[in-house]
Structure 1
Amino acid sequence: MDRYTPVFAIAAAAELAEMHPQTLRQYDRIGLVSPQRTRGNTRRYSLHDVARLREVARLSAEGLSLEGIRRVLQLEDRVRELEGRVSELEHALTEERLRRPERRVFAAGAAGGEVITLRRGTRVRRNAEIVVWKP
Structure 2
Amino acid sequence: MEDRNRPLYMIGVAAELAGVHPQTLRIYEQKGLVSPQRTRGNTRMYSQADIERLELINELTSEGINLAGVIRILDLKGRLEERDEEIDDLHKKVRRLADRVHELETRANVTALVLPEPQVVSIRRMND
TM-score bucket of the superposed structures, by smaller chain: 0.7 to 0.9
* 1:93 counterpart = 2:99: no
Query: What is the TM-score of this pair, normalised by structure 1?
Result: 0.73
Q: Give 2:48's aligned residue.
A: 47
Give the percent of matched residue pairs that are identical in Structure 1 and Structure 2: 45
Unaligned segments of structure 1, at least 5 residues: 104-135
RMSD over equivalenced CA pairs, Å: 1.4
Q: Give 2:4's aligned residue.
A: 3
Separation of aligned partners in 1, 2:79 and 2:6: 21
Q: Deviations over 1:64-95 (max 9, x none)?
A: 11010011011111111110110011001100
Separation of aligned partners in 1, 2:42 and 2:76: 29
SS in 2 for 1:33: coil
**Going by fraction, where is helix more abundant, 1 or 2?**
2
Q: Give 1:57's aligned residue.
A: 58
Separation of aligned partners in 2, 1:27 and 1:62: 17
Offset of residue 100 of structure 1? 2.0
Amino acid at match of 1:94: R
Amino acid at match of 1:23: T
Offset of residue 40 of structure 1? 1.6
Offset of residue 3 of structure 1? 1.1
**Ranges of 4+ aligned residues in structure 1 off by more than 4 Å:** none
| Bigger RCO of structures 1 and 2 (CA < 8 A, at least 6 apart) | 2
Separation of aligned partners in 2, 1:31 and 1:58: 17
Unaligned segments of structure 2, at least 5 residues: 106-128
